[in-house]
Structure 1
Amino acid sequence: MPPADPHGAGQRSPHPEPAPDQPGRTSAWRGRGRHRDRVPTVLALVAWIVLTCHSLVPNSVGRLGSLLETLLPWTGLAVPVLLSAAFLRRSVPAGVAVLLLGATWAAMFGPLLLGRQSDAGANLTVVTHNVGAANADPVGTARTLLAADPDLVALEEITDDTLPVYRKVLDHRLTYSVRVGTVALWSRYPVTASERVTIDPGWSRSLRARVQGPKGPLAVYVVHLPSVRVGVSGFATARRDHVLTALDHAVGQERQQKVLLMGDLNGATTDRALAPLNSRLTSVQDEAGRGFGFSWPAAFPVARIDHILTRGVTPTDAWTLPATGSDHRPVAAKLKA
């Protein structure tokens, strides 16, 4: 056996010298970092494309276009999340892409958040509410509606059991009323005529009434369109869309100059399916409201599917009332009629 080296030669040092730089490994890590930096940029650009080109998303597969447009305002949530990611990574391209997304969203939806008009000159206050057939507190619901001091109240999902309850509360303030199936209208002004609007054969949940308003007659429609569902096959809207087409035709035939349509349309005004009706009538929320006016579900509203639409009258204010025993929230508006 060779003699031991007195200076420790041939033995491992307890403190090994640092390994030399490894350019290949360092470059790989830098490459991964750049890839991660591109993620917020790409996501912001994808969100921007969705926001600006939503009309190009086809409805042929699962009605995905309508579903996207119903939830379109929620794309704004991507802005603070992606902006934070861009800031943390100090990525200029990501920051620019997020600012582009934010500016586009603000241009589309900013006016809703700011509001547009005041209630000066309003002479008619209207409320519509899907009260819910399973509503356990119809008395409290009716009182919530009356707190808005309305001249017209339109209700959907009225049942034979709850109708007397609503009448008992509402009739004291709104002495004229009409009911057709599961929809009803109460009015402070005389209802001179009423009829069922046959847009959904087999169902009786739409009416037209002629109301002698403060400055002349109005044609008032109260409508409850078929429900839609989101499932494995997509956004099921076929029946609603069919009835919506019939409703649009009925409104198109209306000869009365002043028209008011209220009810649960089971669709947002951003949904392309409502475009024909939107071309004939004006959404009070879009015209005079502040905020998105989401009405469903009541616990945490994510979409505005309950509407007040007008023609020949001027919306001056629009808002959402407090939650009731229904799964919808009531919506209200002031009009200059």
Structure 2
Amino acid sequence: MVFHSAVPITFGHLGSLLEAFLPWLGLAVVMLLVLALLRRSATALVALLLPVAVWADLFGGPLLSGDRGAHDITAIQHNVSDENTAPARTAQALVNAGPELIALEELTPSALPLYERALAPAYPHHAVEGSVGLWSVYPLADVRLLDIRPRAIDEGWRRGLRVGARTPWGEVAVYVVHLPSVRVRLSGFDCGYRDESAGLLGDAIAAEELERVVLLGDFNGTVDDRGLAPVMSHMNPPTRDFAFSWPEVFPMSRIDHIMARSATVTHVRTLPATGSDHLPIAADIRLAS
């Protein structure tokens, strides 16, 4: 858990695969505890205090109750799935959560009009590029395609959007992205396209002229994944709330993210399942200095 960065990513990207499920290494502590109790070994129980302390330090924060802090807006991020059979019901569930911003991925040409119709009454401002879109209660400006397409992928691949949201706290650059999928193959963890796309996204954020940035999307990776380092290096440290978003049936990893620069994400949580294979996530964000 401490030295996961020592696992190489140069051979089969095994380090990235490990980091996708890093909190679950705590299950090994449970197994060791059972063995220690079966052997009635006080020495083993004392030795277990070290991995327990490490896990608690890395991942135990969300288990502690406390004040999450004030926030100014709430944003929702959701990969709605291109196989979703209930777009209108999905959209209404997101509206019921009452966010100011809603980012969606895997929008299809047939489903897009249904989302637009369901979201329009509460969110009069929206922008769509390819299969990603943003709905907002605030006016949007400077809408443009965000080019995060890996070189080997067809030019019709459009899964990045950048807009300026004119909030009461000033204009905020809002990015909506869907990084390429990853696969576990015999050769290892195939995440080359994802990593290349993350590098392009990191470059775009570094060049962003607006001070405040809110980034929402399906990253197909966790915040611990070194493949996403080009993005993480430009964002405020994200919260470690347990908000596993994928897969919907038994969530094991949070690959959907809401992050900020020159703003603070105070709390992240999952919302009830929709018709997607991902759970929606909501985040409270403090924009005021």
Please say if residues 259 and 265 of structure 2, whose CA atoms lie closer than 8 Å, have aligned partners that are also in contact: no
In 2: Cα distance, 1:117 partner to 1:204 partner:
40
In 2: Cα distance, 1:75 partner to 1:190 partner:
44
Residues 117 and 67 of structure 1: CA distance in aligned 2, closer, same or farther (over 3 Å): farther
Q: Which among 165, 171, 175 is matched to residue 211 of structure 1?
A: 165
Q: Which among 217, 228, 231 is matched to residue 182 of structure 2?
A: 228
Matches within 5 A, 1:278-293: 278-282=232-236, 284-286=238-240, 291-293=241-243
Look up the match of 1:309: 259
TM-score (norm 2): 0.94
Look up the match of 1:111: 61
Deviation at 1:316, TM superposition (A): 2.5
Look up the match of 1:189: 138
Look up the match of 1:169: 118
Q: Which among 276, 280, 285 is matched to residue 330 of structure 1?
A: 280
Structure with greater Cα Rg:
1
Gaps (5+ residues) in structure 1?
1-50
Secondary structure of the residue aligned to 2:84 is coil
Please say if residues 124 and 214 of structure 1, whose CA atoms lie closer than 8 Å, have aligned partners that are also in contact: no
Q: CA RMSD in A?
A: 1.4
TM-score (norm 1): 0.81
Residues 247 and 117 of structure 1: CA distance in aligned 2, closer, same or farther (over 3 Å): farther
Residues 148 and 284 of structure 1: CA distance in aligned 2, closer, same or farther (over 3 Å): farther
Please say if residues 148 and 159 of structure 2, whose CA atoms lie closer than 8 Å, have aligned partners that are also in contact: no
Instruction: Confirm whether residue 146 of structure 1 aligns to residue 95 of structure 2.
Output: yes
User: 1 or 2, which has the higher helix percentage?
Assistant: 1
Secondary structure of the residue aligned to 1:194 is strand
Secondary structure of the residue aligned to 1:285 is coil
Letter in 1 for 2:286: K
Please say if residues 71 and 303 of structure 1, whose CA atoms lie closer than 8 Å, have aligned partners that are also in contact: yes
Which stretch of the first structure deviates more once superposed, 271-280 or 182-191?
271-280
Letter in 1 for 2:62: L
Deviation at 1:241, TM superposition (A): 0.4
CA deviations over 1:187-242 (Å, ceiling 9, x no partner):
00000220001110521010100110121100000000000011211110011001
Letter in 2 for 1:305: I
Look up the match of 1:74: 24
Letter in 2 for 1:184: G
In 2: Cα distance, 1:181 partner to 1:98 partner:
50
Look up the match of 1:96: 46
Secondary structure of the residue aligned to 1:192 is strand
Q: Which among 33, 38, 44 is matched to residue 83 of structure 1?
A: 33
Look up the match of 2:250: 300
In 2: Cα distance, 1:176 partner to 1:116 partner:
35
Secondary structure of the residue aligned to 2:249 is coil
Secondary structure of the residue aligned to 2:214 is strand
Residues 68 and 196 of structure 1: CA distance in aligned 2, closer, same or farther (over 3 Å): same
Secondary structure of the residue aligned to 2:208 is coil
Residues 56 and 284 of structure 1: CA distance in aligned 2, closer, same or farther (over 3 Å): closer
Matches within 5 A, 1:244-263: 244-263=198-217
Gaps (5+ residues) in structure 2?
none
In 1: Cα distance, 2:186 partner to 2:133 partner:
35
Please say if residues 236 and 264 of structure 2, whose CA atoms lie closer than 8 Å, have aligned partners that are also in contact: no
The percentage of aligned residue pairs carrying the same residue is 47
Residues 116 and 264 of structure 1: CA distance in aligned 2, closer, same or farther (over 3 Å): farther
Instruction: Confirm whether residue 237 of structure 1 aligns to residue 191 of structure 2.
Output: yes
CA deviations over 1:76-109 (Å, ceiling 9, x no partner):
1122221121011012332233221111111111
In 1: Cα distance, 2:139 partner to 2:239 partner:
26
Please say if residues 260 and 310 of structure 1, whose CA atoms lie closer than 8 Å, have aligned partners that are also in contact: yes
In 1: Cα distance, 2:165 partner to 2:107 partner:
21
Please say if residues 20 and 224 of structure 2, whose CA atoms lie closer than 8 Å, have aligned partners that are also in contact: yes
Deviation at 1:283, TM superposition (A): 5.2
